[in-house]
Amino acid sequence: MAARQLLGRTYSTAPSTEALDRWIKAAADKRLKYSATLHPDHLSDLYVTLPTRDGTRKPYVPPSEGTPMGYGHHLVFFHPRTPERDLRPDGTDADFCPPEPFIRRMWAGGRMEWRKPLLIGAKATSVTTIDSVEKKGFEKGAPMVFVQQKIDMRNEGDEQPAVTEERTHVYLALGLNQRKFRNGAYSKQLALEQRSLY
């Protein structure tokens, strides 16, 4: 019910920045740390789901312990385990999100840097911090908040990160800057099967 009310709220004027400014100040000290064993079984789900991930049609080969993990494959690890009741109305985790009304999240960019491989079967850690927060468009009545996260992943025992990922999301205030929906000329329905979801 609260989510329905929140999604129905609209803002006719630019939101106050007091709560946002407090959040920005506190965000500088926020750190999330996750540990994971980079299990071959977990990676094999990715390999089977995306069999052409390397651009070829070669047969499935299960991942082997001790071998380097492929580029980008770290994305199946180090996820928050947030209960559904604690997620934001759009289904995202709230740990690095600005306060209301900035709940419309969109991808704005990112990059990854690999210094050395993460090893399949090894233990690893991930530390996420907020690298920067930038407010834009407030003076024009079109407020946006850009949040850049920095994620350092290390093999257990290493001082330096093996992989560094930067993610930039832009948050818009709900009810502002929304486009009108148009009826599309093309539509397609997709029914996911349980085997597609892991």
Q: What percent of the chain has pLDDT over 70?
A: 82
189 — pLDDT class (breaks 50, 70, 90):
confident
Q: Which residues pair with 109 in a beta bridge?
A: 168
pLDDT tens digits for range 134-148? 999 999 889 999 999
Question: Which structure tokens are listed for 14?
Answer: 């630019």
* The pLDDT of residue 12: 43
First-to-last CA distance in the chain? Answer: 29
CA distance 169 to 154: 23
- The H or E element spanning position 2 is helix 2-8
Backbone angles phi, psi at 84, to 5 degrees: -55, -35
Is the CB of residue 116 less than 8 Å from the CB of residue 162?
yes
* The pLDDT of residue 52: 64
Amino acid identity, position 180: K
CA distance 80 to 68: 24
CA distance 68 to 121: 10
* The pLDDT of residue 175: 73
CA distance 100 to 82: 19
* The pLDDT of residue 1: 41
* The pLDDT of residue 174: 80
Amino acid identity, position 72: G
Is the CB of residue 70 less than 8 Å from the CB of residue 44?
no
Domain 2-178 architecture: Roll (3.10)
* The pLDDT of residue 91: 82
- The H or E element spanning position 19 is helix 18-27
pLDDT surpasses 50 at 164: yes
Q: Which residue has the higher pLDDT, 186 or 52?
A: 186
**How high is the mean pLDDT of the chain?**
84
20 — pLDDT class (breaks 50, 70, 90):
very high
